[in-house]
Structure 1
């Protein structure tokens, strides 16, 4: 037995210590594992930087080239041929070939190759066919610059790497799991890769983001160039068909319609969303129809689908490739640079080979011309030996070869002797000279390309884009996503109950007091009569503290819910009043809403969703010489401060009770609302265009390019998928002026109207397919400029300005309007509006005084009436 064999069969060595046994692996355990790991990394899982192929794909492509005759081949036949190169089973080869075929770049397919949208598998290899695409034939193969190696059994020659002249790895993407590492390179857009290659060759900067065949919407702001730590978010494209129907027309990468529908069904079963039923109408294109129950918000449901289902997924790329037989982690930008530089190197090699071939053709054509024109072939008639023939031709050529680029070899002379008599007899000197001149032009052109290699490479990429880029436009829409808070969009799928006296809350306390609907991911805020507060997660039964006075679903960062409080600080302290909001808090931690003194007691508490400030009556205990035992307090006089503020003193004397005297109105400023065009959402954070300051009932006016007018309440969850030509705060008394093209009469019409039904969508143009909205404005007195078209043989009509307020009065929203002009119009422009005249200030003051007088008398009557009502009926919250 040899020494190597002995080492390979060596048993593991065990070393015993006091506490543990250390086993050292040697011999075959060590070597075989390293060999296996190296094999998996280099030969199976990770693609090479040179051509972007894993070995199985490279061998499939070489087999298809071997079999290529322009016609389709059975995939089973290709798989069988590939097994001459690839030492694995036919199933793995077939699956790998289907993956390449589904990317529709290198292989022309015929038959059922599966569906990446539905996840349906391809038919068996014996039923489907394939051939190389024109793109593959042009880009992937170049035998003269290919390096070859022996196949696994030594019977065939296979390419070490295919000479791919395109960033194929980034176009197709790659995914694989090896031993100790993995790779996940996402696919990118064909045309964008070519543009990036050109920019790299021009020395310009470029940026690459993925593009998926399944389309969808993508946020690639954290892509990190495809390196470890990066992440992209991909969403399905969901549109609202009507108030009870949503339609999904594009799905995220790596999902299928089946897996997406399953995730929606599971979310519905868990109560995260509410869905009536789902229809999968997917055929050539994705169409998943989701029917919603009545009274379910489509906007919130779309957000919930993104939050709780596969309608939104996160993908973490990990760019790893083989460079010089070692795995390297490099970004997609660096992969593109290396690929482009490799393409330039290949183009240079091809040009150099072509130049050598052209020079050889020119050399022999020149020799042939001399040989025949100078009748040197006659010099060999007297020669009897081969050596004599070679020498006679060589001597005959010497006077005429001074212009040749290289010396004449014996091989050249041998080729001359092989020219047939028929060719010599039909030799045309002019045609021979034309051929030589054509070769000289080609040689000059190739030399020019070599001298301007970068320009040649750029032209090569531009030609690829022109020939193959059509129909390969970006499919995945790039957009920044807003963060969806799950608690804001989850369906309230359970009920919350409270046992105030014992201090328990939960969803299982069905015999106790019902509080509100909630979801199983909500947080609940609780206030107790002893002045403590806590926030806890929804559960079946949770103890929060005895004598609960308020329970509600907690909204994080909610600055508009204001808590009004009157409490006694400690058992004998002063009574304070305060107003505060709770925006953030540590869950399950007890907080004091006073100063934490023992014996603290809450006399009055109210939670106000819009910052309302009521009036209350405070009753004092009759102790000592107190004269005023009853007085009013207005919460509107108190500033809103932090939760930890002590508040202002109401009384230093003991308080008996506090009662509500009068409901309050909001003391908060109107909310400023902005529209962020990037994420197509409303916000209160100052991002985008300011729409205005909104109070409770204020609405937003929306007009689409199709002439649809509607108003909506500005909820931050509203989605704006349509292209609105007008979006602003709605003034119900402000007329809207519109100019539209009437398709049937082929004339411009003007109309002025008010929105009569705020909750209803109205169409303000006619239903003719060619009718379209031209201009719309909410200016008080808009001015329109008409630019007329010049008529043949007529004088140019000057531009005309039209005061739309004078042109047409305000009519119903369904009115057709007035015809603007019968002349041909080139352009319509809105000019600066006319500012309405302001009334005389003295008249306004007198009018205002009269109104105030009337109002004051009315208020007195109302107040008297209110006092009578309040005396007869007690209102408020009292905690003794």
Structure 2
């Protein structure tokens, strides 16, 4: 085989190499130019006027066309294309967005609906004109900087001289190349107030306000900077026992997408609904009908957890300043906008000052020219230059008080005065005009010297003129976090194969455990003393010989597990009580001492800390005298799950039998009401409502005259008109004074609640009936102030002791008439002192505080000595309390 020449080898190697093309020029020039264009000319608003270029050009075009009448939007779009080098569709869309914000554009026709998501009609069908607010604050040609339009035929503003924080009022959103912006809208009145505070040197805080209203948590707003977050919720309330009503929706959604998210959650089994009705028109009204037996309160939380009824919005404050993107918070935007407004006001005053001074200068020259008959000096002049010189010479003796020199243009204007005007010249009127101009000049100079006060007055005028109807729509409230596992619908069934050690939703031939959801965790205990928590799945192996399986509740302090186990093969037996509040998922925990062949003799899970009595039976071995005795779990302290426990016996246990079911050994649970989030809690937030046992209830009274008692569940939602929330004492009467609309009289009634859990109305159903006062004191006292009748002396106030005024009657009784006289006001006074009867406790056993459970939950290093300190074991194996 002949050798290949060296040159041929090099050529082949060169041909196999990829061709490398440098693109540095493209990225340095073309791409950067494109990115800069998108950032500056399309996506990000300028800080000076808060507008993107297309918005600025639309407003400028509308000003061009403004004659006080409505213009077709199609006409405005076509006119805007003289300034905006893009298609008409983008201009029309931008104009609709401005119009829907209801601030700068006065709209007519179908402009769409931000609540339902319906689009606007075609631009040829809808009309628009500038609003009075826009005409007032947006335009001022005399202080506007102009530039040539894209084709050089027109002049357009570089920025509009907007003297208002428009960017924060309207909000802005845009995606550019490499960055984006999302400035949330804020309240019109609050922005003005913040501007005034800034000018006064005071601190201010701004939070968003959305046109869709709703509820908002601004805990992590972070002043609108990157990394901040706003949580928004729909306003959901209970319409009746089987219906929820949504009356306000979160920002960035609409009724269509909201309903779709609810239906999707229903299909996935997260919630359970019967049907949805959308009655939205000018106001939002979505009715969510629930099947019988479904909790409305739980469904409200589920809507927040699994649908668009709760959304998280991440703001990003990015604006253009000096042709560069700048990331700033809304407070800084407000400060810059306010200071820019002050500068524009200054420029406007300076322009007006110059105009008034020019008018004063010319009015003074005109008076001198006519009063001193200088016009006669030009009669002999034959040339234009001679005329100008003659007037100039004639004025010199009289112009020492003028504020600037006389120029040729001033003299030319004097020559243009008509003879008729000279003949009718009134010196007094001329002097009055000059004095009026001097007053205006003085006023403007005063404003310039006190520019801050002038700017404050300007903002106050804006608030007075345009603030009506612009009150805050979005309610600011702290949100409690919804635990999805507590509110999700149990849409599937959990099964267990105890012997083989499998759990899952697909084991339909095996033992049914309970209903569960696909987001639940499952806790499992096995015969060898092992515990594990795992995510629910179709089939999972957790360990053979399962003795207990259930849905795991994280941070559950009240579920107590009672356990008696043998420590290793032939070892002693121990008893322990513990809770499981936190774990690592899929990790196996050993509840014994870890010796091989350990065995569980007895196990029970108690949702409210119940402590049963069991009988311990020993095997007959050797000389054991007592083979049987009772063990009461109430005598065992609740400790951590890693504790060894107390010694039961060192002998072999034959079996353990349940003798007597137990009652709770936990203290009554303290429950607080947090008014900020309108929720119950057990964390000490808000006002203490009381201590509750399992059978205790809450009493709720609403301003509408509705009363009911409920079990105090932490997921309960409360109506806005709730006026009484306290622990219900069944024998404690409720006293009320109400106005009966049919009889047009005030009545007093006292009653007890006989139907637990039933919602009842205790005032008449007449539309004019209303509840005046209600009291849950044992002996309430009210004061009645009467209306003064014409021609009569005012009747003295009447003090009424309600207990002696009327006896306790049924809830449906009319009551006793309070008075026949006309009543002005009724108010509650301090009640008569009364020592309420003590409540008889449900049991007299010693209870264990829940805090004890917490303190011992992590006691993995508990010593054996501590575990055994309360017990002594005799030769017969029986445990005895010291």
Decide: shared fold, TM above 0.5. Answer: yes
1:571 aligns with 2:569: yes
Q: CA deviation at 1:821?
A: 2.7
Q: Using the alignment, how far apart are the partners of 1:148 and 1:436 within structure 2?
A: 34
Q: 2:370 corresponds to which residue?
A: 372
Residue 204 in structure 1 maps to residue 226 in structure 2? no
* Equivalent residue, structure 1, for 2:776: 778
Once the 2 structures are TM-superposed, how far is the Cα of residue 407 of structure 1 from its aligned partner? 1.5
Instruction: State the Cα distance separating 1:787 from its structure 2 match.
Output: 3.9
Q: What is the match of residue 670 of structure 2?
A: 672
Distance in 2 between residues matched to 1:253 and 1:422, nearest whole Å:
68
Q: Does 1:412 align with 2:410?
A: yes
The alpha carbon displacement at 1:20 in A equals 12
> 2:30 maps to which residue?
32
Q: Residue 216 of structure 1 aligns with which residue?
A: 214
Q: Is the 8 A contact 2:704 2:721 kept in 1?
A: no
| Conservation of the 8 A alpha-carbon contact between 2:735 and 2:776 | yes
Tell me: CA distance 1:739–1:372, structure 2 relative to 1, closer, same or farther (3 Å).
same
Between 1:789-798 and 1:679-688, the stretch displaced more is 789-798
Residue aligned with 2:629, SS: strand
> Could you tell me which residue of structure 1 aligns to residue 767 of structure 2?
769
The structure 2 residue matched to 1:512, chosen from 500, 510, 513, is 510
Alignment match, 1:225: 223
**How far did 1:254 drift?**
0.9
Matches of 2:577 and 2:798 in 1, distance apart?
Answer: 60
Distance 2:173 2:434 in 1: 52
User: How far did residue 239 of structure 1 move?
Assistant: 1.5
Query: Of 492, 496, 502, which residue of structure 2 is paired with 1:498?
Result: 496
2:212/2:248 contact within 8 Å kept: yes
Q: How does 1:9-408 map to 2 (within 5 A)?
A: 24-408=22-406
Give 1:867's aligned residue: none
Match of 1:440 in 2: 438
Instruction: Kindly state the Cα deviation for residue 287 of structure 1 after the two structures are TM-superposed.
Output: 1.4
Could you list the per-position Cα deviations for residues 363-382 of structure 1 after superposition, in whole angstroms to 9, with x for gaps in the alignment?
10111112112221122111
Contact 2:670 2:692 in 1 (8 A): yes
In 2, Cα distance between equivalents of 1:142 and 1:765: 61
Partner of 1:141, secondary structure, is: coil
Give deviations 1:162-187, integer Å, cap 9, x for gaps: 11100000011111111111111011
Deviation at 1:546, TM superposition (A): 0.2
TM-fit CA distance, 1:788:
4.4
**Alpha-carbon distance, 1:806 to partner:** 1.5
Q: Does the residue aligned with 1:710 lie in a helix, a strand or coil?
A: strand
Moved more, 125-134 or 413-422: 125-134
CA positional deviation for 1:29 = 4.0
Aligned-partner SS, 1:510: coil
Distance in 1 (alpha carbons) for counterparts of 2:398 and 2:823: 79
Secondary structure in structure 1 of the residue aligned to 2:600: strand
Report SS of the residue matched to 1:27. helix
Shifted more, 828-837 versus 127-136: the winner is 828-837
Q: Deviations over 1:31-78 (max 9, x none)?
A: 111111111111111111000111111111111111111111121221
Q: Which moved more, 1:264-273 or 1:396-405?
A: 396-405
Question: Per-residue deviation at 1:351?
Answer: 0.1
Calculate the aligned-residue CA RMSD, in Å. Answer: 2.0
Alignment gaps of 5+ in structure 1: 1-15, 842-846, 853-880
Deviations 1:520-558 (A, max 9, x none): 100000000000000001100000000000010000001
Q: How far has the Cα of 1:789 moved from its partner?
A: 4.9
Contact 2:700 2:708 in 1 (8 A): yes
Alignment deviations for residues 672-699 of structure 1 (CA, whole Å, 9 cap, x no partner): 1111100000111111111111111111
Q: Aligned partners of 2:513 and 2:378: how far apart in 1?
A: 117
In structure 1, what is the Cα distance between the partners aligned to 2:42 and 2:627? 89
CA deviation string 1:694-751 (max 9, x = no partner): 1111111111111111111101010013321111100111111112223344433211
Note if 1:707 corresponds to 2:705: yes
The answer to whether the 8 A contact 2:83-2:149 is kept is yes
Structure 2 CA distance, aligned partners of 1:640 and 1:259? 50
In structure 2, stretches of 5+ residues that fail to align are 1-13, 845-882
> 3-state DSSP class of the match of 2:828?
strand
Query: How many angstroms apart in 2 are the aligned matches of 1:297 and 1:784?
Result: 38
Cα distance in 1, alignment partners of residues 550 and 573 from structure 2: 26
Q: Give the whole-Å Cα distance in 1 for the aligned partners of 2:449 and 2:337.
A: 21
Do the aligned partners of 2:495 and 2:503 also contact (CA within 8 Å) in 1?
Answer: yes
Aligned match of 1:869 = none
| Residue aligning to 2:720 | 722
Q: Distance in 1 between matches of 2:590 and 2:26?
A: 69
Structure 1's 638 and 29: CA in aligned 2 closer, same or farther, altered over 3 A?
closer
Cα distance in structure 1, aligned partners of 2:19 and 2:102: 56
Secondary structure in structure 2 of the residue aligned to 1:820: strand
Per-residue CA deviations over 1:106-134 (Å, capped at 9, x if unaligned) read 11112221111111111222222211111
**What is the CA–CA distance in structure 1 between the aligned matches of 2:135 and 2:789, rounded to whole Å?**
56
In structure 2, what is the Cα distance between the partners aligned to 1:118 and 1:784? 49
Q: 1:24 Cα deviation (Å)?
A: 4.8
Provide the secondary structure at the position in 1 that maps to 2:452: helix
Between stretches 19-28 and 393-402, larger displacement belongs to 19-28
Q: Determine the C-alpha separation between the residues in 1 that align with 2:786 and 2:18.
A: 97
Q: Which moved more, 1:323-332 or 1:19-28?
A: 19-28
Task: String of CA shifts for 1:781-834, please: whole Å, max 9, x gaps.
Answer: 222333445566656654443322211111111111112233444443333323
Matched residues, number:
827
Shift of 1:23: 6.9
Q: Is the 8 A contact 2:186 2:208 kept in 1?
A: yes
The reply on whether 1:451 has 2:449 as its aligned counterpart is yes
Partner SS, residue 161 of structure 2:
coil
Q: Distance in 2 between matches of 1:292 and 1:388?
A: 99
Q: Which residue of 2 aligns with 1:527?
A: 525
C-alpha distance in 2, partners of 1:714/1:579? Answer: 26
Distance (whole Å) between structure 1 residues aligned to residue 825 and residue 89 of structure 2: 65
Cα separation, 2, equivalents of 1:279 and 1:409: 78
Farther off after superposition, 400-409 or 474-483 = 400-409
